[in-house]
Amino acid sequence: MGGVASAATPVSMLMNDTRSDFVIVGGVAAGPKTAATLARRMPDAKITLFQKEKFLSYAPCGMPYFASGDIESFQKLMMTPYGVVRDERFFETSKGFKVITGAEVTRIDREKKSVTVRMLDTGESFVHQYGKLVLATGAAPIKPGFPVADSPMIRPFTRPDDAIAFRNAAQQGEVGKAVIIGGGYIGCELVESAAGMWGIETTLIEKESQVLPNVLDPEMAAIVEREMIRQGIELMTSAEVERIDLNDSGNPVVSIRGGDKIAADYVFLCLGVRPSVSLARDCGLRIGGNDGIHVDTHMQTSDPDIYAGGDCVESYHRITGANVCLPMGSLANRHGRVIAENLAGNEAEFRGVVGSFFVKIFDVNVGSVGLSQKAAEALDFRAEAVWGTFPDKPDFYPEFKLFAAKMVYAADDGRLLGLQAAGAGDICSHVDVFSSFLQRRGMLDDLLDFEHGYAPPYSEPVDPLHHLAGMAIAQEMGTRFVAPGVDFSDSALVLDVREEHEVSSRPWPTDHGREVLHIPSGELKQRIGELDSSKTIYIVCGRGSRSYQVALMLKQAGFENVHVVGGGVLASLV
């Protein structure tokens, strides 16, 4: 390999350097991971990575925390744990491959096995040949379907420049009011970035009727929405943006269909991303139904000499069997390893995704894996769900916190389909464990077999996954669960089985003046005569488990229309 490359490498030198064994396009996650693994496996191979931007191997998922001010400098996102910046020199000397930044690959010639590269600073182009080519071209923000005025204060949040622009503006006190358009996970993260440390008055606008519509069911999203409102965010759901103009002072004004106009200093366009596949499409590689590059389990494209990974590809979904685009840095890294192993002649496969997802929104931890109930139903699964509110440690242990969880499963055979969890409590291990079961087509019985670590500082003797599996089995035996916050029919009876002190401190939040019958669970056996068995009964308690036991009791006593309100009153207060 030649000397240390840098943005200052003269084009003439690059032009004379005409071929690499491996050429990699893209320098954020999948690209550098592929190159570094490959260089370890094949130290004598010549590997060249072209990156369009000047930033390399930064952690895109860390950008909201740089924007918020939690992370001091952008450079920190590009540093190794031991304080070395991952720049051209680092990759050349420590990782053993060459990196050219400011270098846009504009064309792939599959017959000649070459790429055309344009140096952005000079505009000059050259041709470089490859033995094998790896595309890690990432994803780009989806363009709004409404008119947007041209302003540096109206922009997406996907690139380092976006994060730096906002951070600078916020730091200089230029942003008193921000509007975030789109309540997906980037939008939700930015709510905290803007309103948290900078104290910016923030409005979140989401077209759908809930935030995080792709990963949460409405009643679980409600936990996130309540937290945003509690933190002073103006939340507008089912709100469609009509246009964004500039007012006389040059500040953005967001017009909502129906009339509202919101003036702001800064507008984030968080409408999602789409795989960047123009290079792949132009050279005739197969593109999948979701507009991502099609790859097989070896991450090989329709051309055996070209591999692809990261946000630009489609992944096989292990539960649905369909292909999906899941732009995640964690997946991109795993793609990179698989590509490198295959290029080095070692068999490796990427067997698909289940859709693991975490996001922190102020004091609420949110996690989801697999399918939401609405997603499962849309795919014609006979999906059922159970809910519970759980402490993340035993109640007797100081400083336990609560979270609510919803589990989705297939009623036909008990196959696990998805888990959603949200609340102040620690949710991570439950979501990750559930993911490991989804990976191997887990069933309800597998959850009952799960041996979690138990010690009071960390967990309860009975794991939330055991409880959820038990509820699901009970539901299949006839005890019906309904979502927290469900609308009851007017003729239904709400039976609150909590103790007096619980009811008085947290009354059942009914806004219809509906009659709520209150009988503590311990007295129910004696007072069962007070219930009208002809009515539909909804049982509510603190966290959902007493209701479930009461439901079994009522069923045994001959009541037919009995429902458990999943997660209890506290599901709204996690």
Contacting a copy of itself within 341-380 (CB under 8 A): 348, 351, 353-360, 365, 367, 369
Locate 111 and state its tokens.
Answer: 């017959």
CB of 138 to a copy of itself, least distance (A): 14
Closest distance between a copy of itself and the C-beta of residue 372, in Å? 15
Site for a copy of itself in 518-557 (CB under 8 A): 521-523, 525-526, 541-543, 546, 549, 552-553, 556
Ranges within 383-402 binding a copy of itself (CB under 8 A):
391, 394-398
CB-wise, 93 or 247, nearer to a copy of itself? 93
Query: Using CA atoms, how far apart are residues 111 and 362, in angstroms rounded to an integer?
Result: 52
454 binds a copy of itself (CB under 8 A): yes
Amino acid type, 572: S
How many other C-beta atoms lie within 10 A of the C-beta of residue 210?
A: 18
Q: How is residue 331 written in tokens?
A: 């997946």
3-state secondary structure of 461: coil
Sign of CA dihedral 142, 105, 134, 14: negative
Interacting residue with a copy of itself among 456, 478, 510, 514 (CB under 8 A): 456
Query: Is residue 310 a contact partner of residue 136, using CB atoms and an 8 Å limit?
Result: yes
Shorter beta-carbon distance to a copy of itself: residue 146 or 450: 450
Q: Which stretch binds a copy of itself (CB under 8 A): 7-15, 54-62, 227-235, 480-488?
A: 54-62
Round to whole Å and give the CA distance between 405 and 420.
6
CA distances from 487 to 120, 246, 490, 507, 546 (A): 58, 42, 9, 17, 21
Residue (280 or 353) nearer to a copy of itself, CB: 353
Q: Does 84 bind a copy of itself (CB under 8 A)?
A: yes
Site string for a copy of itself, 60-79 (x = CB under 8 A): -xx--x----xx----xx-x
What's the Cα-to-Cα distance from 111 to each of 18, 115, 131, 223, 295, rounded to whole Å?
A: 16, 11, 12, 54, 20
Pick from 2, 10, 199, 457: which binds a copy of itself (CB under 8 A)?
457
- Residue placing its CB nearer to a copy of itself in the complex, 138 or 542: 542
Instruction: Report the nearest approach of a copy of itself to the CB of residue 253 (Å).
Output: 32
Contact between 81 and a copy of itself by CB under 8 A: the answer reads yes
Question: Is the separation of the CB atoms in 547 and 466 below 8 Å?
Answer: no
Site string for a copy of itself, 18-37 (x = CB under 8 A): -----------x--------
Question: Pick from 210, 214, 232, 208: which is nearest to 223 by CA?
Answer: 210
Helix (H) or strand (E) run with residue 564 in it: strand 562-565
Can residue 446 be called a binding residue for a copy of itself (CB under 8 A)?
yes
- Dihedral of the alpha carbons of 503, 507, 513, 517, in degrees to the nearest 10: -20
What distances in angstroms separate CA 427 from CA 42, 367, 466, 520, one per listed residue? 41, 7, 15, 30
Stretch of 49-57, 140-148, 149-157, 452-460 lying at the interface with a copy of itself (CB under 8 A): 452-460
Q: For residue 476, state whether it binds a copy of itself (rule: CB under 8 A).
A: no
- Among 141-149, 150-158, 169-177, 515-523, the segment contacting a copy of itself (CB under 8 A): 515-523
**Interface residue with a copy of itself, options 211, 293, 431, 472 (CB under 8 A):** 431
